[in-house]
Amino acid sequence: MHRLALVWFKRDLRMADHAPLHAAAQYPAAAALYVVEPQWVHSPECDAQHLAFAAEQVNALCSDLTARGLPLLIRWGSMPAVLAALRRDFPFTDLLSHEETGPLWSFARDRAVSAWCRSVGVCWQQWPQSGVIRGLRTRDGWAGRWQERMDAPLVSVPTRWAGAAGLATGAWPQREIASAGHGRARPLPPAGQAAAYRTLERFLTERAARYRQDLSSPLTAPEGCSRLSPYLAFGLLSMRQVHHATEARIRDLLAERSVSARRFAYSLRAFAARLRWHCHFMQKLESEPHIEVRNVARVYDGLREGHFEPRYLEAWRSGQTGYPMVDACMRCLNATGWLNFRMRAMLVSFAAYHLWLHWREPGLHLARQFLDFEPGIHWSQMQMQSGTTGINALRIYSPAKQQRDHDPRGEFIHRWVPEYGTSAYPAPIVEEHDALERARERMFSVRNTAAAREEAARVQHRHGSRRSGLPDTQRRRKPATRARTSPRQATLFTDESE
Ligand SMILES: Cc1cc2nc3c(=O)[nH]c(=O)nc-3n(C[C@H](O)[C@H](O)[C@H](O)COP(=O)(O)OP(=O)(O)OC[C@H]3O[C@@H](n4cnc5c(N)ncnc54)[C@H](O)[C@@H]3O)c2cc1C
């Protein structure tokens, strides 16, 4: 029997460094498939911008693949049903895809696909596409394995495939998507792999020179940061491609032996570290998919749930809290779909501590606003910035200090909150001093217990980074990281990133 391959595209919408595409070239006939899944479209994290961005990429990919002989079929429906229908026209024997570290619905979907494949005798082969390790037993040695994977050569792209003939291509399901009621998408970054490369190249050759200085302020970060996150989240670039290009650029700069080139390389090192953080945070969701909906450290269960104030959530997500830096950041994000790391963290800290909101609902709002929504990074960061991981120092951001440090002349605030300073602008929604006193007391009433320390040790063992490179058992535990906002000290561990 001829073996026939079906390449299943998900969040890997590219041709380069694509192991399933490479493998498909070995088959006498192959087709490719992208499925717009109702579970995604109707999920609370999905927004019109995600769908519009995916549509542009899929259409571009469709032209690229078709030109090389491989038809890309676009379908709407649940995966097992789509696969079963397609198999009637194209009796594929092998399903080839990348692994995905996604939300719980995609985890359940993968189980259903796996069961379907077993039931009909299709062989499903999956390849990793980042540094995330499936079935990881211990975090010891993780950084070394990440390095090995990233340093491996890129997978070559075949110039032609033996594409299956006569299959209906299908089209983007506009009507079904419209019925989900997502509304209009906001302006998107340029689509296509060429645009992704251009963004990477311009960053590595020009913009990254000031990366370290520019990444914290919302005024300078839009130009100073790489802006690669949507391209990485939808897989237009693989992490390995970005890693290779960055390391090559660092080597070239160091070979120049000038002070300015050395400075540039130093800036790029900060960027390179974040590429590892990307996978480090995704690994947490891969290892424990339920952290999308429940606390990483279970001792914090019940701490905020009973205090949820819908009025606060509404004011926060519409940029009407009366804290100008918070409101400016939220309005900027809502309009553009992007915000730099520090300002994202400040928004979450404000929701978690000033407003004492549980992280799940704010996290869903942000997931819809971030074009780069990456579940593994997102939910890990939501919990880290809300103090529910048990292993990170409590970080409570003062909006006034962020304003002084990163928008001293108020340019950013005036751009996004033009009514600031007039009677049209609301008074602060909570009194900061009292709100934070209460938040600290509540946090430390749990954090200082023996149960919290035990839980922190468990979490550190399962998810914490091993920066020393030593196994967890041999590593001398770092002394408690002092909580910056309180004179009281809890026994804490540290994690890899801010
Ligand atoms: C509450 C919260 C939620 C977040 N949700 C997401 C998300 O859904 N998707 C997402 O890609 N990033 C998320 N981040 C991390 C970070 O803010 C974005 O990666 C970054 O702002 C994207 O812009 P950039 O590509 O220009 O970043 P750059 O600074 O140029 O960084 C390059 C790449 O490194 C990775 N990276 C950078 N910072 C981090 C970090 N702190 N942790 C993990 N990876 C990092 C990203 O892949 C990023 O694209 C979140 C941060 C916070 C505080």
Among 129, 151, 178, the domain-final residue is: 129
> Which sign, positive or negative, has the C-alpha torsion 115, 118, 122, 124?
positive
The number of CA neighbours under 13 Å toward the Cβ of 98 is 26
Atom nearest to 215 CA in ligand 1? 29
In a domain? residue 78: yes
Is 480's pLDDT higher than 50?
Answer: no
Which residues does 372 contact at the CB level (< 8 Å), separation at least 6? Answer: 229, 230, 232, 233, 338
pLDDT for 467: 64
Q: Is 389 in the pocket of ligand 1 (CB under 6 A)?
A: no
pLDDT for 393: 86
Ligand 1 atom 16: residue of nearest CA? 341
Residue 316 CA to residue 308 CA, distance in Å, equals 13
Q: Probe ligand 1: pick from 11, 211, 278, 396, max atoms within 8 Å of CB?
A: 278
Q: Same domain, yes or no, for 306 and 444?
A: yes
Which residues does 32 contact at the CB level (< 8 Å), separation at least 6? Answer: 6, 7, 8, 9, 21, 24, 65, 70, 71, 72, 73
Residue 383 CA to residue 296 CA, distance in Å, equals 7
pLDDT band at 185, cuts 50/70/90?
A: confident
Residue 116 CA to residue 387 CA, distance in Å, equals 40
Q: Is 296 in the pocket of ligand 1 (CB under 6 A)?
A: no
Q: Is 211 in the pocket of ligand 1 (CB under 6 A)?
A: no
* Domain count for the chain: 3
- List phi, psi (to 5°) of 171: -145, 165
Q: Is 237 in the pocket of ligand 1 (CB under 6 A)?
A: no
In a domain? residue 295: yes
Q: Is 382 in the pocket of ligand 1 (CB under 6 A)?
A: yes
The number of CA neighbours under 13 Å toward the Cβ of 408 is 1
First to last CA, the chain: 54
Q: Is 275 in the pocket of ligand 1 (CB under 6 A)?
A: yes
Q: Domain holding 243: CATH number?
A: 1.25.40.80
Q: Same domain, yes or no, for 376 and 456?
A: yes
pLDDT tens-place string over residues 237-271: 999 999 999 999 999 999 999 999 999 999 999 99
pLDDT for 1: 64
Structural domain including 305 reads 291-463
DSSP 8-state symbol, 281: H
User: 229 alpha carbon to ligand 1 midpoint, in Å?
Assistant: 7
Confirm if 282 and 290 have CB atoms less than 8 A apart: no
Work out the average pLDDT over 328-353. Answer: 98
In a domain? residue 454: yes
Q: Is 365 in the pocket of ligand 1 (CB under 6 A)?
A: no
